[in-house]
């Protein structure tokens, strides 16, 4: 059955089969494109890939770390169902190379030997190194295969890297806690050190005063020892004089014994008694002075503090005190002997005076006692002289002690200043460590794990789809199907009626006669393409109805535009239409097309249809603008067709003669 529609480039009639073919062309194109390209990630299992694991595991803290195996397991397991992951084959280098060459594998992922070592190089003591894997694809791989393989490998390595980063960061955060605790301990120790240093500073500050007092006391000891030496010299002189007197007394007694009946003997005895009494008095004075000296030296010994470690000053002072005590004891004995001698001398003198006939034995005994007294006094004089020498040595030592004590006072002042600075610095250190301890964050193990997982993957994209082409895939494919459907319509149908020259109908009506069947076909094509899309994507009814209306309007508008292109440019119009379809593909796949091409694409009739379909499926504004744009293009195209029809209705005589039959 034929239809009253003109066929392009031939006078053969158009049949219903032709109409069905034109009608189904965009449906077939759209169905094939949608079935083949829509959401390819759901059929990743049809893509075969190989894994070559050359990794050598490492040992950390006596634990084996096979990160190559973990990555292999992550690739094989994937993140979803079996149809959302590639079909992986664990292979070796030779098999992977041959499989890549003969098309068995669409990609090969090679894990190098140092993968585990590099991935764990952030451990303490290691040199940080980035772990890498190699992704190989055949040179004749399909357009999207490389992107899919790279995406899967990138996702697996990202997940493994996130796990490693999370573990590393967890250790870092727990290290913060340990650091804060250790800083707190250090702060406590520094505080204790500061307290001890302050006590030392206080003690050192008191040390100069004590050293000054020691110097003053040592100077006093030196003066007293000098005076003691002088007094002992006088005592030694007096004792020597007493010894001489005792010797003279002994001589007198012996003379008296010889001249016992002589008056001279009486006088001599009387003089001897007097001398003995004087000697006893002087010797008693020496004993008292020596006793006082011994007591003074004993008091100094009780107060003596060695000026420096290893000094013999206090021992020398104690020895001098002992010598003074011995002198006092010897002087007392001498005084006692002198008193005894005096007691003997006076009765002797009295006896001589009363008895002119006394015995010489008593005088001889008195002379012997007096000789003993003289010997004792001589020893006392020698001891006193030695005590004087010791007292002078004591004075020299005390003078040196005073000088050392002055130096000690000066050094103690410097020490006090230094120790105070140490105490202040240590206190500042304790404060700083305490501040640092409170400033360092502290985490429990669960908090560290949670924080590490967030820091290792701080940003997550929510709302991203799994479709490779995104939400624009369906609108792009539908637009292309309808556009090429409109082109196919006017590959079959005549854009401008052949009867335009002879017809009496208006040019607009003639243009409408060519546009009406094409518009009907375009509208049906739009509805059918929308139906195929709904079968594949299952949109909400409301979204689909808006999408279907855009498809219907686009089918009608594309029919008008393709009619106008063919009507105005003839066969070149079909070439221009094909170019428009190519530009629509080029600018609809990626946003990085050159600016001039993008500007041209924005002016094409496919742009409002594409934008309207995207708005319909994403529930955004732009549907109204799309309808307006399609109407404008349809009106402009129909106007161009009407003008082309009008031009076809005028011709020249030459053209008529060329068209007339020959031999008439």
d(CA 233, CA 265): 36
Distances (CA, A) of 217 to 211, 214, 224, 304, 476: 10, 5, 10, 9, 111
538-557 burial by CB neighbour count: b if 16+ within 10 A, else e? ebeeeebebbbbbbbbbbbb
Report residue 330: phi and psi, to 5°.
Answer: -65, -40
d(CA 433, CA 185): 9
β-bridge mates for residue 135, sequence order: 109
Contact (Cβ atoms closer than 8 angstroms) between residue 519 and residue 489: no
538: CB partners within 8 A, 6+ apart: none
Residue 25: closest CA among 483, 658, 596: 483
Relative to beta strand 48-53, strand 87-91 is parallel
570: phi > 0 → left, psi -120 to 50 → alpha, else beta; which?
A: left
d(CA 304, CA 211): 13
d(CA 265, CA 271): 10
The residue written with tokens 């070559």 in the block is 52
Q: Along the chain (664 residues), what's the average pLDDT of each consecutive run of 10 residues? A: 56 63 66 58 69 88 81 74 70 88 85 84 66 78 60 65 60 60 75 79 76 75 76 76 76 70 65 77 80 82 75 79 81 77 71 60 72 78 78 77 77 78 80 73 67 51 46 84 89 77 80 89 91 85 93 94 91 89 81 82 91 89 92 94 85 57 41
DSSP helix/strand/coil, 442: coil
Q: What is the pTM of this model?
A: 0.49
Q: What local confidence, expressed as pLDDT, does residue 435 receive?
A: 82
Which token pair is 38? 């829509």
d(CA 287, CA 324): 10
Dihedral of alpha carbons 650, 653, 655, 660, sign: positive
Distances (CA, A) of 184 to 381, 427, 428: 75, 14, 14
What size, in residues, is the chain?
664
DSSP helix/strand/coil, 14: strand
CB burial class (10 A; 0-12, 13-18, 19+) of residue 130?
A: exposed
**In the chain, where the domains are located:** 2-38+471-659, 43-181, 206-439
Distances (CA, A) of 195 to 191, 198, 256, 424: 6, 5, 86, 10
Q: End-to-end CA distance of the chain: give it in Å, rounded.
A: 36
Contact (Cβ atoms closer than 8 angstroms) between residue 563 and residue 516: no
Looking at the domain that runs over 43-181, which CATH code has it been given? 3.40.1710
């Amino acid at each position: 059955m034929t239809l009253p529609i003109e066929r392009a480039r031939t006078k053969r009639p158009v049949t219903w089969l032709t109409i069905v073919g034109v009608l189904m062309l965009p449906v077939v194109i759209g169905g094939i494109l949608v079935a083949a390209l829509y959401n390819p990630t759901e059929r990743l299992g049809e893509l075969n890939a190989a894994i070559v694991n050359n990794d050598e595991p490492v040992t950390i803290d006596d634990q084996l770390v096979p990160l190559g195996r973990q990555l292999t397991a992550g690739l094989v397991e994937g993140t979803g169902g079996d149809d959302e992951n590639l079909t992986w084959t664990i292979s070796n280098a030779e098999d992977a190379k041959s499989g890549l060459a003969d098309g068995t594998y669409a990609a090969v992922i090679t894990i190098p030997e140092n993968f585990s070592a590099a991935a764990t190089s952030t451990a303490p003591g290691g040199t940080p190194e980035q772990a890498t894997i190699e992704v190989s694809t055949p040179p004749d791989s399909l357009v999207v295969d490389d992107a899919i393989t790279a995406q899967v490998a990138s996702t697996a390595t990202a997940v493994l890297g996130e796990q490693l980063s999370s573990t590393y960061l967890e250790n870092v955060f727990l290290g913060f806690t340990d650091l804060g605790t250790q800083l707190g301990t250090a702060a406590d120790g520094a505080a204790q050190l500061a307290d001890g240093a302050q006590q030392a500073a206080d003690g050192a500050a008191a040390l100069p005063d004590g050293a000054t007092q020691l110097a003053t006391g040592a100077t006093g000891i030196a003066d007293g020892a000098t005076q003691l030496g002088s007094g002992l010299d006088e005592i030694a002189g007096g004792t020597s004089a007493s010894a001489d007197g005792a010797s003279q007394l002994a001589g007198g007694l012996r003379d008296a014994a010889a001249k016992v009946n002589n008056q001279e003997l009486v006088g001599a005895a009387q003089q001897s008694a007097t001398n003995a009494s004087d000697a006893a008095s002087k010797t008693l004075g020496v004993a008292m002075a020596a006793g006082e000296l011994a007591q003074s030296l004993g008091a100094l010994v009780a107060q003596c503090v060695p000026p420096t470690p290893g000094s013999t000053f206090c021992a020398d002072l104690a020895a001098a005190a002992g010598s003074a005590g011995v002198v006092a004891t010897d002087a007392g004995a001498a005084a006692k002997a002198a008193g005894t001698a005096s007691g003997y001398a006076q009765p002797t003198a009295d006896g001589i005076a009363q008895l002119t006939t006394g015995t010489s034995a008593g005088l001889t005994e008195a002379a012997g006692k007096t000789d003993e007294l003289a010997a004792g006094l001589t020893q006392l004089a020698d001891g006193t002289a030695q005590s004087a020498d010791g007292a002078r040595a004591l004075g020299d030592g005390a003078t040196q002690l005073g000088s050392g004590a002055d130096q000690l006072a000066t050094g103690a002042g410097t020490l006090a200043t230094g120790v105070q600075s140490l105490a202040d610095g240590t206190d500042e250190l304790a404060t700083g460590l305490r501040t640092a301890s409170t400033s360092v964050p502290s985490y429990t193990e669960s908090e560290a794990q949670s924080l590490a997982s967030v820091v290792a993957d701080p940003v997550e994209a929510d709302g991203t789809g799994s479709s490779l082409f995104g939400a624009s895939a369906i609108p792009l494919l539908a637009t292309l199907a309808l556009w090429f459907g409109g082109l196919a319509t006017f590959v079959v149908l005549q854009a401008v009626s052949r009867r335009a020259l002879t017809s009496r109908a208006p040019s607009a009506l003639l243009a409408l006669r060519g546009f009406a069947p094409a518009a009907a076909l375009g509208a049906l094509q739009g509805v059918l393409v929308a139906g195929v899309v709904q079968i594949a994507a299952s949109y909400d009814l409301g979204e689909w109805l808006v999408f279907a209306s855009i498809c219907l309007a686009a089918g009608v508008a594309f029919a008008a535009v393709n009619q106008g292109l063919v009507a105005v440019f003839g066969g070149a119009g079909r070439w221009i239409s094909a170019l428009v379809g190519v530009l629509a593909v080029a600018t609809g796949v990626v946003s990085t097309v050159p600016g001039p091409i993008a500007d041209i694409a924005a002016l094409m009739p496919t742009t409002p249809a594409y934008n309207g379909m995207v708005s319909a499926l994403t529930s955004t504004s732009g549907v109204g603008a799309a309808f307006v744009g399609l109407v404008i293009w349809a009106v402009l195209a129909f106007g161009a067709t009407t003008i082309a029809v009008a031009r076809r209705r005028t011709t020249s005589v030459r053209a008529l003669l060329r068209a007339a039959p020959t031999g008439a």
